[in-house]
Chain A
């Protein structure tokens, strides 16, 4: 499976496609994420993207939008963990390996997605304000772990919400799924750390009902209907167990509404 196949295909079709893709993706990126993006830019960007793919498939154009969206979240996570690990005395010595492993993965995801989109290093990276939620994550270890768990749970929901948009792009779908489960591993261990720090056994590696803070990240996690089957009470299990057994997706719009305040252009 090769995430770069889409770019290879394009190059065979049109040698200038990559240059135009880079230009288009930057404009689209700004219109999607910059709160300052004008309506005109928001309309123009999809047209620019479409022109890049005028000889390629519609599915590929959709996949590029998914990759750009994913890259934004990976930039956020990569910078967050890099800053946390660089802040002297913030992360206890016996927790640095755990967070360095997470940082390593987020940096790898950034590189992978930049490569797939034909971007140079940090080409689309916005500036971030990690204190936008009113909590300075670098002021205390607990703050840092709290924001980390929020970003990871949000990331899991974000990737899940895009799976359907990749159903006709097998290679990219599989790559996205392989990132998605890594984010879920991150979420699980960070939640366990938060549980210990707060001495709160109700914070588990998995999400119970729609419990959690910030609330918008957990909204809808208490859904019990999947593929048209309502499983409330299945096998005599509690609602807690039934909702823990399934993670829920979030739309791109919902994710950007949550992540937006952390992004300062």
Chain B
């Protein structure tokens, strides 16, 4: 990230203008490479200065839980942005409509949480999608399913830690939309079967998955370059 950001420190200097152009080209080339490598630097164009090795602390209490949600929404929004920017071959009109809708919902969740958190918000996270083949429908929809099911399990497991009833309500407003996404993606994968709410996610008591933040972050870590600590979250 520093390679890209530092050239802009003094944009008026002629040397830096050259470096700046190089930096931009490097960035664009890097972004272009995503088609091959899948790597994408989410925070590159954002304002937050962050040491490459810095660990992001989600914080404690309700703020910590909201930052936890903000981290997951950043991940989802970055994923679907890339899905639409690099649409896999054979994407149907219906799939494009759905995935564009979901991208917009996740961006709205991300920006809402950022606004609600204000100065307590964690910085933009660096994501790593190198394991995803964005040109392959199965890879994209399979990842989407995992991310949506993970989002549902995360909100279901975190609700009990919220102290402010307004924040609990907001979490409830978001989680059911994540569940709608999960079901819709699953319905694309195995149309009108049992899979939209399959026995892999809904148990014999008819209950969806709920997971603790530490488990969720371990699941999400392969997609997140930035190191995150949830040590101060409520337990």
Contacts and interface: CB of A to CB of B under 8 A. Distances in A.
B213 interface: no
Contacts of A244: 101, 104-105, 177
Nearest to B194: A101
A181 to B, nearest CB: 4
Given A105-B202, A244-B177, A185 B208 contact: yes
A246 B177 CA distance: 6
Interface string A173-187: 111011111111111
Nearest to A196: B192
B27 interface: no
Contacts of A173: 159-160
A58 interface: no
A97 B194 contact: yes
A95 B194 CA distance: 9
A212 to B, nearest CB: 13
B187 to A, nearest CB: 5
A241 interface: yes
A241 B108 contact: yes
Nearest to A108: B206
A222 interface: no
B183 A184 contact: yes
Given A106-B206, A234-B111, A241-B105, A174 B157 contact: yes
Contacts of B198: 101
Contact of B175 (A104, A181, A192, A249): A181
A204 interface: yes
Interface residues of B, number: 55
A30 interface: no
Contacts of A120: none
Interface stretch (B3-11, B13-21, B50-58, B161-169): B161-169
A263 to B, nearest CB: 22
A182 B207 CA distance: 7
A170 interface: yes
Given A180-B172, A181-B152, A249-B172, A188 B187 contact: yes
A186 B207 contact: no
A121 interface: no
Interface in A139-194: 156, 159-160, 163-164, 167, 170-171, 173-175, 177-189, 192-193
A206 B192 contact: no
Interface of A is mostly: helix
A140 to B, nearest CB: 18
Interface in B54-72: none
Nearest to A163: B172
Contacts of B172: 159-160, 163, 177, 180, 247, 249
B107 A235 contact: yes
B196 interface: yes
25 contacts: A95-B192, A97-B192, A105-B206, A106-B206, A107-B206, A108-B206, A160-B169, A160-B176, A171-B160, A177-B159, A179-B208, A182-B179, A184-B175, A185-B180, A188-B179, A206-B181, A234-B108, A234-B111, A238-B104, A241-B104, A244-B101, A244-B104, A245-B109, A246-B177, A247-B180
Given A167-B162, A170-B160, A188-B187, 20 more contacts: A1-B210, A101-B198, A178-B209, A181-B179, A184-B183, A185-B183, A186-B183, A186-B196, A187-B180, A188-B180, A189-B187, A193-B192, A204-B101, A205-B180, A206-B101, A226-B112, A231-B111, A231-B112, A231-B115, A249-B169
Interface of B: 94, 97-98, 101, 104-105, 107-109, 111-112, 115-116, 152, 155-157, 159-160, 162-163, 165-170, 172-184, 187, 192-194, 196-198, 202, 204-210
